[in-house]
Amino acid sequence: MRSGLARSALALLLACVVAVVVVPVLVLLRTSWVEGRGRLAEIMTDPGFRSAVANSFWLSAAVTGLAVPVGVAIALALRDPGLPGRNFWRAAVLLPVLVPDFVLAYSWLRAYARAGLTSEAFGFAWPQVQGPVGVTVIVASNAVPLVYLVTAVGLSTRAEPVTERAARASGARPLTVLRTVTLPLLGPAIATAAVLIFVLTLGTFAVPQVIGAPAGFRTITTLIYADLALGSDPQSFVEAITLAVLLVMITVIVVTPADRLLGGRLSLSRTPARDSDWGTGSSTTRILVPIVLGLYLIVTCGLPLLALVSAAFTRAVGVPLSPENWTLDNFLAVLTPRTGQALGRSLLLAVAAGSILLVLGGCTAALSRTRSGRAVSVLVALTLVLPGSVLAIGLLIGYGRWLADTVLIILLAYLAKLWALAHRPISAAVDRLAPAGLQAARASGADLPTALATVVVPVLRPALIAAWGLCFLTALHEVTMSSLLYGPGTETLAVVVLNSADLGRIGVTAALSVIVTVVVLVPGGALWMLGRRSRHG
Amino acid sequence: MAEVLQLRGLSLAYGATPVLDSVNLTVAEGEVLALLGPSGSGKSTLLNAVAGFLPLRSGEIFLRQRLVATAGSAEPPEKREIALVFQDYGLWPHLTALDTVAYPLRRRGVRRDLARSQAQQILDRLGVGQLSGRKPAQLSGGEQQRVGLARAMARQAALYLFDEPTAHLDAQVRDVFLAELAARRRESGAAAIYATHDAAEALGLADRVALLIGGRVIQVGTPQEVYAQPVSVAAARLTGPVSLLAGSDFPVLVRPDWARLGGDRTGVVADVWFRGSHTDYALDTPEGELQLRAPGLPAHGRGEEISWSLERSWPLPGD
C-alpha cells in the first residue's frame, strides 16, 4: 500500500515537472523551428542581435572574473573564528541578497550617477555607472554573496583546518599554505561558483534593464524583453524566441562539461558549517579585515541604499538634503489603489509559491531515493540554471492561449523557476536524517504520524523554514519572468517599480523601491530569526 | 644534557574555560616523553601550543633554549623546529603520498626531483613505498598513518610531536620510527613527545612519562617510577589497575601483581575472571576490596574464603 502511495505521488510530481518545465522548453524549441527556420539567417546577421549575444557573453565573463576572487577572499577572511564581530560580518555579507537586484541597481544610480548622492555631497560622480561597466560591477557585487556561500561550504567540507596546520608544521608560511593547500582543495568549490555565476549572469535581467538599457547596452535578456514587451511585429517575436533558444544552448554548453568535470558536484546543498577550533588569522588581519569589509559593504550596499532612501524623501533631484526639502510626497504619490493591489498580489503570489513549493520540494526530496525520483530531482536541479526569460516565453507559448494575462501563469513560472530552491535545503536535511531514526521511534512505541512529528519534522524544521523563506523572498524579488508575463491588472509590485524606473520618475521609483525593500526585509528578518531559533532551540 | 623543550608555567584557555594550568615540563635531548592522560585532559592542547597553533594565556615555551612563545608573542609554527603527527593524520586530499612526504622537503628549498627521491626513501623505510602514487582516499587507515609519520620524518625537527594516533602505531612502524629517532638523536639530539591515553603504550615506549589530568601535570618520572611510586590514587589509576587498602598509618596502594595467594591475610573471593595467561580475583578483605592477579587457571570460586599476602605496597601519606 505504501509503495502504491509512493508511486502515485511520484507520478504526480513527474506530471508537475513535465507541465511547468519540460513542456515550455519543448514548445519553445518547436516554435523556434517552425517560425524561425526561414528567417534565421536574417536574424543572426542583425547587428543588434549579434551585439546583444556578445554583450551577454562578455558580461558573464567579466562578472565571473570579478565576483569569484572577491567572494573567495571574503570566505577566507571570515573563516578566522578569532575575527572580531565575525557573526555580524557573516550576516552583513549576505545582506545584498535581501535587497531585490533591481532596487540595488537603481540605488547605485541614485548614489553614484550624475546628480547622485556622492556628487551632491562630495562632488564625486561616476558617469560610467550607467552603462556596461556599471552593469558589470553591480551584477558582480550581487553575485559575491553566492560565491561566498559556495566557498564557505567548500571550506567547511573540504579544507579542514588540520590540513593547514599540517602544512604549517611542515614548514610552510601562511601564503604558501594558501597556494599549496587551501586553494587547491577549494578548486571544485571555486569552479562550481564560477560556472554558477557565469550561467546566472547570462540569465540576469533586472540590472541590465535598469542600468544598461537606457545607455544602449543590450543583453540577450533585455533584448527579449524589448522584443516582447515593446515590439509588436512578428519579426521581433521570432527574434525573441531565437534569443531564448540561444540562451538555453549556451547554458547547456557551459553547464554540461562543467558538471561532468566536477563529477556532479555542481550543487548548492549546505552542510552545517563546523567551526574550526581556533584562530588562523594574525592580529594585523583582524584589524584590516573589518576595515576593508566595512568599506566594501558601504560602497556596494550602504551608500546606494542611503541614496535611495534620501531620493525617496526629498522633493526633487539635485536639491540639497536639508530638512526643508524633506517630503513624503513621493510616498503619497505611490499610495494608489494600483500599488496596493500590486503589493497584495505580490504577497499572495509569494505566499502561494512558497507554500506549494514546500510540498513539491518536500515530496521531491522524500522520493529522491528511488530511480525515477532521482530523475525528477535532476530535472528540478536544471531549472536553477534555466534562464527565467526562457521559461517565461515557453510558458507563454505553451499555456498563453488559456492563461495569458492571469496571475496563474505567473504562479506557474515561479513554481518552475524556484522548485530547485525549495528542493535543495530540504533534500540536504533529508540526507542527514539517520535512516534508523524513524524505525527506532516506531520500535519505541510511536505510531507513524507520531514518529514523523517527533523525530523527523523537528530535524527538518530549519530546512523547511529556509525553503519556504527562500521561495517567498525570491518570488517577491522576481522581475525577469513577471515583466514578460504580466497583463493588465496582474502587475506585481516589482513590475510596477521596473516600469516606473523605465519612465524615469526618480522620486516615485525611489519611494516604491523603499517599499519593496521593506516588504522583503521585514519577513526576511523574521524568517532569519525564526530559522536561528529553530536551529539553536 | 641540554633540554630540547622547556615549558615554564604554561597556562592556556579556550574562552573562559582553562585547559592547561601552569604546566612545567622539560624534554631532554634524545628523550621520548610520553604524555599520558584521559581524553580531555589537555594533551592535544599542549602539543598544539608547543607546535605554535595556540596562543598562551601565560608562561613560556623554550625550544633548544630559545624563547619561542610567551603570552604576548609567538613564533609561527613553520619557524619552530617541530614535526607533528596528527591525531586524524591530517593528510591533504589533493596530494599523493609521495608529494605529501616531499612537502616539508620542498618548503626547506630542496629541488623537486631530489625531494621526491628522498620522500620515496622514507616511504620505503616505513613499508609503504609501493603506495607513493596514491591519494589519501585510496589508502587504508594504517597506510594513512604511515604516510603522516613519513611526512613528520621528512621534516628536520628538534622535537617530534605525536598527537595520540587514533589507531595505535603498530609495533613494526613504531620500531622503525624509534630507530630513526635514535639515529637522529646521535646526529642532532632530536627528541619526541608521544601523547596517549593508553598506559601500556606509554610505559612501553617512553624514557619518561608525564601524567596529565585536568590540564595539570601531576607527576613526571620514568615508567617504573610512575607505575610503582604514584603520587596519588588518580596518578596510580592512570597507569593501571590499583587497589586502595587501609594501612596502619596511611592508606596503601597495591597493584594486582603485588599481592599473591597464600599467606597471613584473609579474604573472601567476590569475583573471578580468567584471562588466559593469568587469573584476576576480586577479594573482600578487612583492609578493603583488593584486586589480585595470580598466574595460571582459577584455583578458587566465588564465596570461598582464602588467604593472601602482600609482596609490596606503596604508602600514600597525602591521601
Distance from CA of A291 to the nearest CA of B (A): 24
Residue contact B78–A162, C-beta within 8 A: no
Distance from CA of A193 to the nearest CA of B (A): 19
d(C-alpha A401, C-alpha A398), whole Å = 8
* Sheet (strand B314-315) strand order: B243-246, B251-254, B314-315
Residue contact B92–A185, C-beta within 8 A: yes
Interface list for chain A against chain B, based on CB atoms closer than 8 Å: 158, 162-163, 165-174, 176, 180-181, 184-185, 187, 277-279
The CATH class of the A44-318 domain is mainly alpha
For B197-235, what is each residue's pLDDT tens digit? 888 888 988 999 999 999 999 999 999 999 999 999 999
∠ CA(A274), CA(A275), CA(A276), 5° rounding?
Answer: 115
State whether residue B296 sits within 8 Å of chain A by CB: no
Window from A73-77, B60-64, B171-175 with minimum mean pLDDT: B171-175
Residue contact A171–B155, C-beta within 8 A: yes
**pLDDT, averaged across chain A:** 83
Residue A270's pLDDT is what? Answer: 39
Specify which of A29-43, A84-98, A149-163, A259-273 reaches the highest per-range mean pLDDT.
A84-98
C-alpha cell at A347: 504577497
Residue contact B76–A173, C-beta within 8 A: yes
Residue contact A162–B155, C-beta within 8 A: no
> Cα dihedral sign for B130, B133, B138, B139?
positive
CATH topology of domain B241-315: OB fold (Dihydrolipoamide Acetyltransferase, E2P) (2.40.50)
Query: B209 - beta bridge partners?
Result: B34, B221
Residue contact B53–A172, C-beta within 8 A: no
d(C-alpha B46, C-alpha B25), whole Å = 11
State whether residue B112 sits within 8 Å of chain A by CB: no
Distance from CA of A160 to the nearest CA of B (A): 9
Closest Cβ opposite residue A166 in set B54, B90, B108: B90
For A198-226, what is each residue's pLDDT tens digit? 988 998 999 999 888 888 899 999 999 88
A436 vs A133, higher pLDDT:
A133
Size of interface A-B (CB pairs under 8 A): 70
Closest Cβ opposite residue A169 in set B83, B88, B94: B83
Other C-beta atoms lying within 10 Å of the C-beta of residue A474: 21
Q: B249-278: b or e for each residue (b if 16 or more CB lie within 10 Å)?
A: eebbbbbbbbbebeeebebebeeeeeeeee
∠ CA(A216), CA(A222), CA(A223), 5° rounding?
Answer: 80
Residue contact B78–A163, C-beta within 8 A: no
Residue B307's pLDDT is what? Answer: 92
**pLDDT, averaged across chain B:** 89
Q: Average the pLDDT over A323-351 and give the result.
A: 87
Q: How confident is the model at residue B17 (pLDDT cuts 50, 70, 90)?
A: confident
All residues of chain B having their beta carbon less than 8 Å from the beta carbon of residue A176 are 107
Closest Cβ opposite residue B77 in set A158, A168, A180: A168
CA end-to-end span of chain B: 35
Residue A318's pLDDT is what? Answer: 67
User: What are the CB-based long-range contacts (under 8 Å, 24+) for B142-149?
Assistant: B142/B167, B142/B170, B144/B89, B144/B91, B145/B89, B145/B169, B145/B173, B146/B173, B147/B89, B147/B91, B147/B97, B147/B100, B147/B101, B147/B123, B148/B85, B148/B86, B148/B89, B148/B90, B148/B91, B149/B85, B149/B173, B149/B177
Residue B187's pLDDT is what? Answer: 80
Residue contact A167–B103, C-beta within 8 A: yes
Residue A534's pLDDT is what? Answer: 62
Mutate to test the interface with A, among B78, B135, B193 (most CBs of A within 10 A): B78
Contact A59, A219 (CB under 8 A): yes
Residue contact A170–B53, C-beta within 8 A: no
State whether residue B290 sits within 8 Å of chain A by CB: no
Domains A1-38+328-537 and A44-318 share a fold: yes
Radius of gyration of the CA atoms of chain B, in A: 23
Q: A385-418: b or e for each residue (b if 16 or more CB lie within 10 Å)?
A: bbbbbbbbbbbbbbbeeebeebbbbbbbbbbbbb
∠ CA(A484), CA(A486), CA(A487), 5° rounding?
Answer: 125
Closest Cβ opposite residue A171 in set B53, B93, B107: B107
Other C-beta atoms lying within 10 Å of the C-beta of residue A291: 9
Q: Average the pLDDT over A500-515 and give the result.
A: 85
Mutate to test the interface with A, among B103, B122, B155, B161 (most CBs of A within 10 A): B103
Residue contact A162–B90, C-beta within 8 A: yes
All residues of chain B having their beta carbon less than 8 Å from the beta carbon of residue A171 are 78, 104, 107-108, 155
Three-state DSSP at A150 gives helix
Q: Which residue of A has its CA nearest to B53?
A: A165
Share of chain A above pLDDT 90, in %: 21
Which bin fits B263, alpha (ψ -120 to 50), beta or left (φ > 0)?
left
Radius of gyration of the CA atoms of chain A, in A: 24
A280 pLDDT higher than 60:
no
A384 pLDDT higher than 90:
no
Distance from CA of A171 to the nearest CA of B (A): 4
Contacts of residue A283, Cβ cutoff 8 Å, sequence gap at least 6 = none
Residue contact B78–A171, C-beta within 8 A: yes
Residue B195's pLDDT is what? Answer: 92
Closest Cβ opposite residue B78 in set A173, A184, A187: A173
A519 pLDDT higher than 90:
no
A476 pLDDT higher than 90:
no
Which of A305, A325, A307, A303 shows the shortest CA–CA distance to A316? Answer: A325
The DSSP code for A38 is: T
The DSSP code for A488 is: T
Distance from CA of B100 to the nearest CA of A (A): 9
Query: B308 - beta bridge partners?
Result: B261
State whether residue B147 sits within 8 Å of chain A by CB: no
Residue contact A166–B52, C-beta within 8 A: no
For A415-458, what is each residue's pLDDT tens digit? 998 988 888 888 878 877 766 666 666 666 677 777 777 777 77
> Residue A304, Cα to own-chain centre: how many angstroms?
19
Contact A117, A310 (CB under 8 A): yes
All residues of chain B having their beta carbon less than 8 Å from the beta carbon of residue A181 are 92, 94
Hey, where are the domains in chain A?
1-38+328-537, 44-318
State whether residue B273 sits within 8 Å of chain A by CB: no
Residue contact A166–B107, C-beta within 8 A: no
Three-state DSSP at A486 gives coil
For B64-80, what is each residue's pLDDT tens digit? 999 999 988 888 888 88
Residue A274's pLDDT is what? Answer: 40
State whether residue B170 sits within 8 Å of chain A by CB: no
Hey, where are the domains in chain B?
3-228, 241-315
Window from A273-277, A436-440, B306-310 with minimum mean pLDDT: A273-277
The second-level CATH assignment, the architecture, of B3-228 is 3-Layer(aba) Sandwich (3.40)
Closest Cβ opposite residue A169 in set B51, B54, B88: B51
Distance from CA of A170 to the nearest CA of B (A): 5
Other C-beta atoms lying within 10 Å of the C-beta of residue A136: 26
Q: Which residue of A has its CA nearest to B152?
A: A170
Contacts of residue A89, Cβ cutoff 8 Å, sequence gap at least 6 = A78, A83, A289, A290, A293
Residue A70's pLDDT is what? Answer: 96
Assign 3-class secondary structure to chain B: CCEEEEEEEEEEEECCEEEEEEEEEEEECCCEEEEECCCCCCHHHHHHHHHCCCCCCEEEEEECCEEEECCCCECCHHHCCEEEEECCECCCCCCCHHHHHHHHHHHCCCCHHHHHHHHHHHHHHCCCHHHCCCCHHHCCHHHHHHHHHHHHHHCCCCEEEEECCCCCCCHHHHHHHHHHHHHHHHHHCCEEEEEECCHHHHHHHCCEEEEEECCEEEEEECHHHHHHCCCCHHHHHHHCCCEEEECCCCEEEECHHHEEEEEEEEEEEEEEEECCCEEEEEEEECCEEEEEEEECCCCCCCCCEEEEEECCCEECCCC
Q: Average the pLDDT over A491-516 and give the result.
A: 86
State whether residue B286 sits within 8 Å of chain A by CB: no
d(C-alpha A261, C-alpha A256), whole Å = 9
Distance from CA of B204 to the nearest CA of A (A): 27
Closest Cβ opposite residue B88 in set A162, A187, A279: A162
Residue contact B53–A278, C-beta within 8 A: yes
Residue A263's pLDDT is what? Answer: 43
Closest Cβ opposite residue A162 in set B86, B108, B155: B86
A384 vs A79, higher pLDDT:
A79
Q: What is the pTM of this model?
A: 0.79
Q: How confident is the model at residue A275 (pLDDT cuts 50, 70, 90)?
A: very low
ipTM: 0.76
Residue contact B76–A174, C-beta within 8 A: yes
For B226-284, what is each residue's pLDDT tens digit? 999 999 999 999 999 999 988 778 889 999 999 999 888 999 999 999 999 999 999 99
Residue A437's pLDDT is what? Answer: 67
Residue A277's pLDDT is what? Answer: 47
Provide the residue type at A68 as one letter: V
Residue A267's pLDDT is what? Answer: 44
Query: A324 - beta bridge partners?
Result: none
Distance from CA of A532 to the nearest CA of B (A): 23
φ, ψ of residue A511 to 5 degrees: the values are -60, -45
For A235-270, what is each residue's pLDDT tens digit? 788 888 888 888 888 888 887 776 555 544 444 443
d(C-alpha A298, C-alpha A304), whole Å = 8
All residues of chain A having their beta carbon less than 8 Å from the beta carbon of residue B107 are 170-172, 176
State whether residue B84 sits within 8 Å of chain A by CB: yes
Contact A10, A370 (CB under 8 A): yes
Superfamily of structural domain A1-38+328-537: MetI-like (1.10.3720.10)
Mutate to test the interface with B, among A158, A162, A164, A170 (most CBs of B within 10 A): A170
φ, ψ of residue B280 to 5 degrees: the values are -100, 135
